Chain A
Amino acid sequence: MSGTVIKVENLSKRYVIGSKRNPQDGLRHQIEAAIRNPLRWLTSKKSAEGADSKEFWALRDVSFEIKRGEVVGIIGSNGAGKSTMLKILSRITEPTSGRIGLQGRVASLLEVGTGFHAELTGRENIFLNGAILGMSKVEIKRKFDEIVAFSEIEKFLDTPVKRYSSGMYVRLAFAVAAHLEPEILIVDEVLAVGDAQFQKKCLGKMQEVSQGGRTVLFVSHNMQAILALCSTAIWLEGGKLLEKGDAKSIADKYNIKAAAENNYSDVPVINKKRTGSGAGRFVDVKVQSIDQHGKLKQHFETGCSWQVDLEILCHANFQDANVAVTVNDTNGYRLVDVNTALKGEFLSLKENQKSKVRFLMENVRLKPGKYVIELWLGRGGVEEIDFVKDVAVIEVFEDMDAIKHTETFPGVYQCGFTHQFIK
């Protein structure tokens, strides 16, 4: 079909893993085999299955088509086969079976700073890196000033790259790669390096590239970046193509699946490590997401309400205990605290009594990220009855309906606000 620039049919890639190599492939055996039966050795292929080697299918039967000018995001968890597919598309490694048709010059950016040599200066590395990525000397000379301007390292152009800070290094490397002019551009998670300002710059440049009518394949774990750049997305999982289609809907489904896997710790509360007198114990906890209409949601978003259901079993009588739920960031820093004492209510239980407590944390405007729930039962400053850290890990996602700009700015709390431009 005209307009198709990449056509992948039944692509599969198998690796043989395991450090125990097939003894038939050692040098000594190869020489013996060559001497014993030269003709057979010349035409034989290396045996891939040894006694102890295992097969690993990085890709299995992947097929899709990409048209000219499409910007496609490729998502999937680690080990899904994304980088392997890019490597095959870039002709770095060969497929085990299947075929690919490519039309147009391909440039791939699988790593930032490929070929950079620490002893050479920035200027020399621009030429070296450009040549390695496929630019001719004339082309590099022509774009030299643009590259230097983009990287913002004019002052350091003639110092050896080993003296650069990591930020400068990455800026220079990306500046060279950003000025490639291929018909098909393949980019692999290179935005994972560099500070926020650099990432913004890279995204901007890639938007420019895609608006120029080039076909772009972009692998990233950063959903914001994918949604900002890509109209279509491909979801790979375990080497298989799960879905190809509209970027936003696939991103949503991916988020929900990730949330389902991440949201509760494996160990139930009753078995967790805890401190405290033990007069009472948290025996069960459930954390759920509620939307603004009071309905249960599949995953947590900024602004939704959190419903925390607790069950406490009393082992020895206690009086006037405060029940608290805290939400911390992954470094253990406390962000949110709700407890019954704030409402003037306390819990008293006798031995073997159970109590259920339900907290509804309203409109929790925590920014997207991972958060840890802690539970505390006790009398403030007097007695700690039960304190459990790391009860559950909750991942919060962006509320896609509420925001108009898909970039997450740093911070913990997403405040609701109105604004006006006052002339």
Chain B
Amino acid sequence: MEQRPEFFELNIVKTIAADILNETEQLGEMPVLTIEAGRSEKHYWADLWRYRELFYFLAWRDLLVRYKQTVVGVAWSLIRPILSVVMLTVIFGIVGKMPSGGVPYALLVFCGMLPWQFFSTALSESGNSLVTNSNLISKVYFPRLIVPASSVVTSFVDFLVSAAFLVVLLVWYQFMPPLNIVFLPLFILLAFAASLGAGIWIAALMVEYRDFRIIVPFVVQFGVLATPVAYLSSNISKNLGDNWRMLYSLNPMVGVIDGFRWAILGGEHKIFWPGLLLSILVTAILLLSGIWYFRRTEKSFADVI
């Protein structure tokens, strides 16, 4: 029968979810599945692996549907970040003359915009994903975790398209990224984990409390300002002091964006290590608690949705 799934954050999962991993017993030639009230699904993680193709299919469906009947097609993934960058560059860079740490302001903003758009799109889409797919939730069985996770995957595809544009920008400004860039995938992974954690939380909460449909856009709007998309987080240290910077770093995207800037732009952009560690910790807590809450409420989704 199937092996244990290689969940992508296996190390972190193992430390906390030890009792869940005691589950999979396969008896005889065919496993006997027992359904009982309150019994945590012993086969859940094995099921996630068995249904792994559904991650791909749901993301594929969302992308296909988005671009059907549009003329511009895939280019929509590019237009949004490009427009935001242009707007922010004009307002803050040219008119406001914000300090940009020795690189063209547009590059600074784009390095911040790239992960932020990934996070904010993932948050709103996966938050809504369960409610949007309510017809599936009430009629078919599959591990429900797949639904918000595939929304994050869809946003990730958009991210990759925008990242291609980043390469164009770098060439335009004739800017050579430092060696730090090899660490970029780690920060991408951190962004993915933060998006997944927040997305799962919102998705589970949205089923029961539709208030979140209004709360999430507000958080995203607020988040653009509370995250160093348009400015340098080192400004926070300079103007308000290190303590405030620690508080500021509770926002997991702060660590991500700082990391992106360090990896792509180098030079003056340094990593604030305490802040980064805090961001990683917050992300881990977000993700694991998100999975816990989701699993706890999952059984009643079909009844409530």
**Residues of A with Cβ closer than 8 Å to B?**
15, 25-27, 30, 87-104, 106, 108, 110-111, 114-115, 117, 119-120, 124, 127-128, 131-134, 136-137, 160, 183
Contacts and interface: CB of A to CB of B under 8 A. Distances in A.
Given A132-B54, A134-B142, A115 B136 contact: yes
A30 B204 CA distance: 14
Nearest to A99: B36
A401 B53 CA distance: 51
A157 B38 CA distance: 44
Contacts of A90: 140-141
Interface string B56-67: 010001001100
Interface string B29-66: 01111111110000000000001011001000100110
The 4 closest A-B pairs by CB, nearest first: A131-B57, A100-B35, A99-B36, A94-B299
B12 interface: no
A202 B181 CA distance: 59
B15 interface: no
Given A27-B209, A90-B140, 13 more contacts: A25-B208, A27-B211, A92-B302, A102-B32, A103-B32, A106-B33, A111-B139, A114-B135, A114-B140, A115-B135, A124-B64, A132-B57, A133-B140
A39 to B, nearest CB: 15
B15 to A, nearest CB: 19
B300 interface: yes
B238 interface: no
A152 B137 CA distance: 29
A269 B65 CA distance: 60
Interface string B198-213: 0000000000110100
B51 A134 contact: yes
B19 interface: no
Interface string B138-151: 11111000000000
B4 interface: no
Contact of A108 (B65, B141, B209): B141
Contacts of A25: 208
B30 A94 contact: no
B6 interface: no
Contacts of A160: 68
A287 to B, nearest CB: 43
B302 A93 contact: yes
B218 to A, nearest CB: 14
B69 interface: yes
Contacts of B303: 15, 93
B30 A119 contact: no
A27 B35 CA distance: 30
